[in-house]
Amino acid sequence: MGIHEECGVFGVLSAKKENVAELVYYGLYALQHRGQESCGIVVNDDGVFSSYKDLGLVSEVFSKDTLAHFPEGTMAVGHVRYATTGAGARENAQPLTIKYVKGTLAVVHNGNLVDVDRLRARFEYQGAIFHTTSDSELIAYAIAQARLHGTSVEDAVCRAVGELRGAFSLIVMSPRKLIACRDPWGFRPLCMGRKGKAVLFASESCAIESVGGTLERELDPGEIVVVEEGQVRSIRDNCRGQSHMCIFEYIYFARPDSVIAGQSVHEARVNAGRLLARRHPVEADLVVGVPDSGLDAARGYAQESGIPYGVGFVKNRYVGRTFITPDQTSREQAVRIKLGALRSCVEGRRVVMIDDSIVRGTTSRQIVVLLREAGAVQVHLRISAPPFIAPCYFGTDIPDSEHLIAHDRSPEEICALTGADSLGFLPLKVLHQIAPDAGCGFCDGCFTGNYPIRL
């Protein structure tokens, strides 16, 4: 509950004109967990782009009447956003649509660039006028500028992203082509699927399956996939044979029914729970998980330890992120609005509480209080990730080190601050074992302070 997701992207190229806006709408609905601040859709009808975006959840921004205003088309892209670079204002909502001498482009982006100041200064000295504070606009400008050299739009994308540093999973829509791209380090996921003759791109496989599509494969780090008139081409000029998938995708970000780099997210979280039980056993009566990403890890802990698994919390599903205000009092009240402890399950019991992470520690303390107020006689806190000791620069809202409770405190000190009877983190040395089937390397910089890119 302390970490915010980054963004989710979805795109479709159909073999015929159809209601592609509705297809993207359902795809974004499946990606809502990746961003709750804003969302948007752009539809391409024979080169004419129609767009709508606003602050709010997908169900709030797109009513039946709003969707009905979109024309039928052959292509569309959509985006759900949580702000990591740039304020959460309406002008920063995506997709970004730009008109330039070569035509129109729509861009959706998941990730963070690490050289934003350099790029912005370069473009401003060249006369660029920015309408947002988002690094996604820098990517759009880079592509448009490369396009001015007379190359094709896919060559422009290839040239532009070859100069970018950081995390970016992109979908770019031109009047005739749909182009998907991952950064050469592979920080953020991006996959391709099909629904009939339509080609789909999405941040996670769950979104492709939610619209009735079939997952075909994931894009390789650095790969650019171009779809034109139903034909799919791959450009691998920026592929470096490296992969540094954010391991927090498995711990928290992705939906449990997604598969990333060949690894089931659900199984990765169960594995984390099993590893926790081996490294931090405790005598207890019940294992509970903090919804939602702590639930699968709690099942794994229960299976390995033999302690019964139970439901310890009820989550209010009708509270959006817009409810939460940034001051501490409001954050603490928000925990009580979002979660309720089940007294009938925890009263009089020694409870093992599994959560995905501890950031500042305030949320964990509040949840421990909820269990004690519901009658738990002991609360043993287990975390299915190592301690956060460093910020993330690649699209995750992990704050500067001085705001991280584990930055300069021992587990014993953190335990005292949370009010738990004991505390155990997933050891760093076994972190990568949670995803044994993943065909990729990992970025674990927020746990180690070591990053794949020189900052």
Q: How far apart are CA 140 and CA 13, in angstroms?
A: 20
Catalytic pick from 7, 39, 181, 443? 7
Place of tokens 């953020």: 188
Residue 124 sits at φ, ψ, to 5 deg, of -65, -35
The 10 Å Cβ neighbour count of residue 235 is: 17
Planar angle of CA 449, 453, 455, nearest 5 degrees:
75
Q: Is there a contact between 257 and 265 (Cβ–Cβ < 8 Å)?
A: yes
How would you classify the pairing of strands 263-264 and 286-289?
unpaired
415 in active site: no
Residue 232 sits at φ, ψ, to 5 deg, of -110, 125
Q: How far apart are CA 189 and CA 176, in angstroms?
A: 25
Query: Would you please indicate which residues are annotated as catalytic (active-site) residues?
Result: 7
